[in-house]
Structure 1
Amino acid sequence: MAYQEISDAFWNPVDPLLDPFKRKKSGGSPPVEFRCILNGIFSLLKTGCQWGHLPPCYGSKSTVHEHFQRWVQAGVFAEIFRVYAEEYQEAHGIEWTWQAMDGALMQAPVRGQAVCLADEALGRNPTDRGRSGSKMHLHVDQNGIPLGVTLVGANVHDSRLVSSTLVAAILPRPEPTPDQPQHLCLDKGYTISL
């Protein structure tokens, strides 16, 4: 699967978000450009390769991974998500009438780990013989535009994620009215047996 480098149009609003992370002191090896690092992160996320197999054109795997960790902790990716959701809303408008939500289980790359860490969004996957895994829970509008996402351990039931995923929405949801109702489509996995 080929990865297309990020465009100037995408990069221009993102560049100011990374200003606080620019090196203040001189010395050492020359820093890798943030655009190159972000391209490496997006390439890894799109292709699914491991950090160790990241092409060297993006810088060393440790440099790219270190920046990824710092930017995640600082909320940079959430801010990128918000900026582009607002841009999409201005250009096309979010379709709130019909919304959908679902989760997907993912295997964690820590097979031998005995302890599942909640702060790392890991939990024993009930569909994979109790191995460590995560669940990504996504809320979209009727055109499939992402509105909110949560990441939890694989052992968390879908029905317990509706509220937290709605709260994680990157854009404020308008109040439904009789003229503009809102519907949330969920599958049978959200029912709880009594």
Structure 2
Amino acid sequence: MSRYDLTDLEPLLPNKPRGVPRVDDRRVLNGIFWVLRSGAPWRDLPGRYGPPTTCYNRFVRWRKAGVWDRLMDAITKAHDSKVQMIDTSIVRVHQQGATGKKGDRDHCLGRSRGGLTTKIHALVDAKGRPIKLMLTAGQKSDIASAADLITDLPEGAMLLADKGYDANTLRNAVIERKAWANIPPKVNRKGPICFSPFLYKARNLIERFFNKTKQFRRIATRYDKLAENYLAAVKLVAIRIWLRAYESTS
């Protein structure tokens, strides 16, 4: 077994009881994860995982069918909601990821000092396990997707974020949910706010989450032309992080 191989997701995958037997799901999933981890082009997929076109086509077809989204929703139901954290991470876009067709579709590409970039917005739980993931262009502010990430923030929860999220709009949104925003104040903030530096130390868990995702080279650098495919890849890596967490406690 390769060190890139997966344990068990088959019970959560679509079932096809009739028709021509398809290539084994485990084999295909391991092939997809091999590409995500190694950063290699799909065409360089080792033969033990089957035809590269089979792995790529199933990855895209299941993304379009919402399979990866449903897997993410199902596996994150067990999250610890008492403490949640939001943050972002910038990803460089490879030149082959910047050749998508222009038009109305949002490719989540933006120009910054480092060139073309995409920004991953993440919400994780008290154990650093991902709950929600979103993409924007790299030049978008960190707080741009904060309101969408915390729509399910439960009553009594604590939200941790760095001072880039110190805005009255976000604080008020958290208060409306009867939760508490533990966010350090910006230097230009007027008036005192409630902030605990001790509780804030736990925020390093979301930074660890981003470090884990970027061990997968196709996440650390974006090669996908379509934002939908890149986000699906990030979600698959997030699912793997959850599975590893389950394995460590079993």
Q: Percent identity?
A: 25
Closer, same or farther in 2 for the Cα pair 1:104/1:117, shift >3 Å?
farther
Give the distance between the partners of 1:78 and 1:148, measured in 2 at CA. Answer: 10
Structure 2 residue aligned with 1:125, among 101, 111, 122?
A: 111
Deviation readout 1:24-53 (Å, 9 max, x if unpaired): 3x5xxx742222111111222233333233
Q: Which structure is higher in helix share?
A: 2
Q: How does 1:4-23 map onto structure 2 within 5 Å?
A: 4-7=4-7, 10-14=8-12, 17-19=13-15
What residue is the counterpart of 1:139 in the other structure?
123
Closer, same or farther in 2 for the Cα pair 1:107/1:99, shift >3 Å?
same
Give the distance between the partners of 2:113 and 2:102, measured in 1 at CA. Answer: 15
Structure 1: unaligned runs, 5 residues or longer: none
Larger mean CA deviation between 54-63 and 114-123 belongs to 114-123
CA contact (8 A) 1:123 1:153 kept: yes
Structure 2: unaligned runs, 5 residues or longer: 168-185, 189-250
Give the distance between the partners of 1:146 and 1:125, measured in 2 at CA. Answer: 27
1:157 maps onto 2:141 in alignment: yes
What residue is the counterpart of 2:89 in the other structure?
104
What residue is the counterpart of 1:56 in the other structure?
47
Residue identity in the other structure for 2:114: D
CA contact (8 A) 2:123 2:133 kept: yes
* TM-score normalized by the length of structure 1: 0.70
Give the aligned CA root-mean-square deviation in angstroms.
3.0
What residue is the counterpart of 1:184 in the other structure?
159
CA contact (8 A) 1:108 1:122 kept: no
Between 1 and 2, higher relative CO (CA 8 Å, sep ≥ 6) is seen in 2
What residue is the counterpart of 1:82 in the other structure?
73
Closer, same or farther in 2 for the Cα pair 1:114/1:54, shift >3 Å?
closer
Closer, same or farther in 2 for the Cα pair 1:141/1:128, shift >3 Å?
same
> What is the number of equivalent residue pairs in this alignment?
167
Give the distance between the partners of 1:110 and 1:23, measured in 2 at CA. Answer: 42
Larger mean CA deviation between 94-103 and 143-152 belongs to 94-103
Give the distance between the partners of 2:159 and 2:137, measured in 1 at CA. Answer: 23
